[in-house]
Amino acid sequence: MSEIQFILDDKQITVDFSEKLYSPTTTLLKYLRSLKDHKGVKEGCGEGDCGACTVVVAEEINGKLMYKAIDSCLVFLPWVHGKQVITVEGLGTSANLHPVQKAMVDMDGSQCGFCTPGFVMSIFAIYKSYKKPNEDVIRDALAGNLCRCTGYRPIIDAAKEACKLRKPDQFSESEKKVVRILKGIKKQGSVKLLLETHKYWMPETAEEAISIRRKNKKALLVSGATDVALRVTKKHENIPEIIDLSFIDSIKEIVTKDGYIHIGAGLSLEMLRQEIRNDLPALSDMLDVFGSKQIRSKASLGGNIGSASPIGDTLPVLMAYDAIINLQGVKGIRSVRLREFIKGYRTIDMKSDEIIAFVSVPVPDKKVIYKSYKISKRTDLDISTVSACFSLKLKKNIVEEFSAFYGGMAAQTSNAAKASKYLLNKEWNLENIEHAAKLIDQDFSPISDARSGAEARKIMARNLLLKFFNNVHEKQ
């Protein structure tokens, strides 16, 4: 088997990898730009930082299409199997503009024009997904697109204008047909691309994935692949064997049961962010400043945990909530506390026949205060310099429980142990906090890198604790 099927704008496409025009790690961006009539999608950075390559993907969920903007430079082509890819050319032509395109023209939303197709697609995604998006929704949806000619205000105006005049478009008309075709593709079962040079598996059940993994121990697990794609686009690495977990629906669910919120590891960070806003506010606060909507819509929770980066932003928060990682293997489920699951710099306690199936977060005790922080060079779409999540339980202003998990301060995310221990059973006052802040210096010896010097990191870590104190104080 060597083929994938998808819909490109309004055409049904089959890509046969045995023809060797493309490899399974060819990015969607590269594929589209190789076509004669899809040069509208642009490469600005090749790493999901600029959004010039934004396209919209429509997925069939319960008989309806869900539209989301993604960075096509971070997509391995097989990922689009069974989906509809919508490009700026599919929206309309210069002679027959889509309402989103027309609004961009009317509001003077383009200058040099190079970022414009990407912005058009990001706006199109909200046009299809929200009835009346407010300005926060619009700004959030555009945070993953850069304009260097400084034209953001007219672009935001265009988004408002387009959504104000929202009406059914050609995609509404073709929705039923597209759903039927996509369902038809799904029915054909899971796809394996077994080629001379590359192997790319797209299992549809966890069991299938585990069985493939057992037999192919070198194969790399990906889900959103927003991190792994950089190894291809930036480092020009060849990754010969990949197991793509993004086709497994059973690990994309979220349920609250028996005192735990069980989150499927395949759930996208964007879905997660929206689902847990009320239940796990410290996590949704962190996800608000995690990557961009394009990246969050594709990146999975399991991927962020599994890559075990010291600056993986969900980790300090999930550690503060004391989340449990549930690994599915041949023998069933094995559960490990996240605090123990991360073993060191990008190393995890996972066996070669396991996958991360779901993450269980205890339903937070209402008496515990959780708060997360991220310091980066800019608010949106940036890597953490230092991140932190604090948990605090007070009884008559005495600290009953406290933890302070930091990212960016060591080779792995970890608790400021001395500072936390010091605060236990102490009065929650500025004097004690200032003393604990000093102890953070003993808890960590951070490195200096492009984002910050070591000394500045220590100052940030101390100040975050003071900020947390201040924020708790303000609330009371």
Partner 1 sequence: MKNNNEMTNIVHESARLHVSGEAKYIDDIDFSSLLHARVFYSSYAHAEIVSYDLTEARKVNGVHAVIGPDDLPSENQMGCIFHDEPVLAEGVVECVGQAMFLIAAETEEQCIEAEKLIKVEFKELDAIITLPEAIEKGELLQPRRKIERGDVEKAFKEAENVIEGELEVGGQEHWYLETQVAVAIPGEAGDLKILSSTQNPTEVQAIVSEVLGIARMQVEVEMRRMGGAFGGKESQANHIAAWAALLAAKTKRPVKLRLFRDDDQKITGKRHPFLIKYKAAYTNEGRITAVDFEQNCNGGHATDLTMSILERAQMHADNYYFIPNMKIIGNAWKTNLPSNTAFRGFGGPQGMAGIETIIDRVARNLGKDAGSIRKINFYGSRDRNITPYGQKVENNRLSRLWNETVNISEYRARRKQVDAFNKKNKFVKRGLAITPIKFGISFTTSFLNQAGALVNIYRDGSVLVNHGGTEMGQGLHTKIAQIAASELGVNYSCIKVTATNTSKVPNSSPTAASSGTDMNGMAVKNAVEKLKQRMASVVAT
By the criterion CB under 8 A, which residues form the site for partner 1?
36, 38-47, 50, 52, 87-89, 91-94, 97, 101-102, 104-106, 108-117, 120, 146-149, 234, 236, 467, 470
Write the CA distances from 47 to 24, 72, 169, 302, integer angstroms. Answer: 18, 10, 31, 20
**Which of 230, 254 has the CB closer to partner 1?**
230
**Which of 29, 248 has the CB closer to partner 1?**
29
In angstroms, give the least distance from the CB of 42 to partner 1: 7
In angstroms, give the least distance from the CB of 212 to partner 1: 28
In angstroms, give the least distance from the CB of 471 to partner 1: 10
In angstroms, give the least distance from the CB of 431 to partner 1: 16
Write the CA distances from 438 to 288, 372, 416, 443, integer angstroms. Answer: 30, 20, 11, 9
In whole angstroms, what is the distance from residue 22 CA to residue 16 CA?
8
In whole angstroms, what is the distance from residue 137 CA to residue 115 CA?
20
In angstroms, give the least distance from the CB of 20 to partner 1: 12
**Which of 43, 380 has the CB closer to partner 1?**
43
- Strand-pairing partners, residue 67, are 58
* Nearest C-alpha neighbor of 397 from the set 476, 468, 470: 476
Rounded to 5 degrees, φ, ψ at 98 are -70, 155
Helix (H, G, I), strand (E, B) or coil at 159: helix
DSSP label of 429: S
Q: Cβ(227)–Cβ(76) under 8 Å? A: no
**Which of 240, 275 has the CB closer to partner 1?**
240
* Nearest C-alpha neighbor of 294 from the set 13, 9, 39, 28: 28
In 223-300, which residue ranges form alpha helices assigned H by DSSP?
A: 229-233, 269-275, 281-288, 293-296
**Which of 51, 302 has the CB closer to partner 1?**
51
**Which of 82, 90 has the CB closer to partner 1?**
90
**Which of 91, 299 has the CB closer to partner 1?**
91
Report the sign of the C-alpha dihedral through residues 100, 105, 109, 111, in that order: positive
Q: Cβ(110)–Cβ(116) under 8 Å? A: yes
The tokens for 237 are 């690495």
Q: Cβ(246)–Cβ(223) under 8 Å? A: yes
In angstroms, give the least distance from the CB of 475 to partner 1: 15
Per this entry, what is the length of the chain?
Answer: 476
In angstroms, give the least distance from the CB of 154 to partner 1: 11
**Which of 43, 157 has the CB closer to partner 1?**
43
* Nearest C-alpha neighbor of 267 from the set 281, 253, 283: 253
In angstroms, give the least distance from the CB of 167 to partner 1: 18
Angle, alpha carbons 86-89-94 (nearest 5°): 145
In angstroms, give the least distance from the CB of 28 to partner 1: 15
In whole angstroms, what is the distance from residue 178 CA to residue 195 CA?
29
**Which of 55, 318 has the CB closer to partner 1?**
55
**Which of 234, 367 has the CB closer to partner 1?**
234
Rounded to 5 degrees, φ, ψ at 452 are -170, 155
In angstroms, give the least distance from the CB of 45 to partner 1: 5
